[in-house]
Amino acid sequence: MRTGEAAFGNLVADAMRAAVGADIAITNGGGIRADRDYPAGSVLTRRDIQEELPFGNRTVLLELTGADVLAALETGFSGIEDVAGRFPQVSGLAVRYDPTRPAEARVVSVTVGGAPLDPAATYRVATNDFLARGGDGYAALTHGRTLIDPTSGGLMATQVIDHIATAGTVAPTVEGRLTDMSR
């Protein structure tokens, strides 16, 4: 969760994005706590989800420029050598990054829905209320317009539970959303 893409992180980010109809979702790996592996065929309970997401964070929807999205991603990769909780888990985009480059210059490329991120375009971004307030150093997420605020946004844990219930069966995988170019 704190040094690379994680299957459960993908599930959480996908649930957030779907719940608010966002183009992309960014959440911090440090907000996902239990970090357990769930073998194929596992039945996830409400308790499992609440143990993974214990902070009661709510999903918010922001309207941000591509430049702000890029700045937020740079923040997310800035503490990788310290195994910082700000490392991003994402949905709706693919990021190539190089952790050997200086902090705030680690993102090599970003695509949204297969197209390059446009710094001048506007994107609907789902994130959690902690990051939306600039937590974990995500100041760029405070620059946008709030479309769904924390009082209106749902609990992340409930959104994940609902996402699983709607799908019936989920099989999240590590699928190349976050690619470390130094390997």
Q: What is the pLDDT along the chain (183 residues), one digit of tens a residue?
A: 899 999 999 999 999 999 999 999 999 999 999 768 888 888 899 999 999 999 999 999 999 999 999 999 999 999 999 998 999 999 999 999 999 999 999 999 999 999 999 999 999 999 999 999 999 999 999 999 999 999 999 999 999 999 999 998 888 889 999 999 999
Query: Does residue 123 contact residue 63 with C-beta atoms inside 8 Å?
Result: yes
Q: Beta-carbon neighbour count of residue 85 at 10 Å?
A: 16
Provide CB contacts within 8 A for 12, sequence distance 6+: 27, 32, 52, 53, 89, 156, 160
HSE toward the beta carbon, residue 146, CA cutoff 13 A: 14
pTM of the complete model: 0.96
Query: Does residue 130 contact residue 31 with C-beta atoms inside 8 Å?
Result: yes
Which is the CATH superfamily of the domain at 7-174? 5'-Nucleotidase, C-terminal domain (3.90.780.10)
Domain boundaries, the chain: 7-174
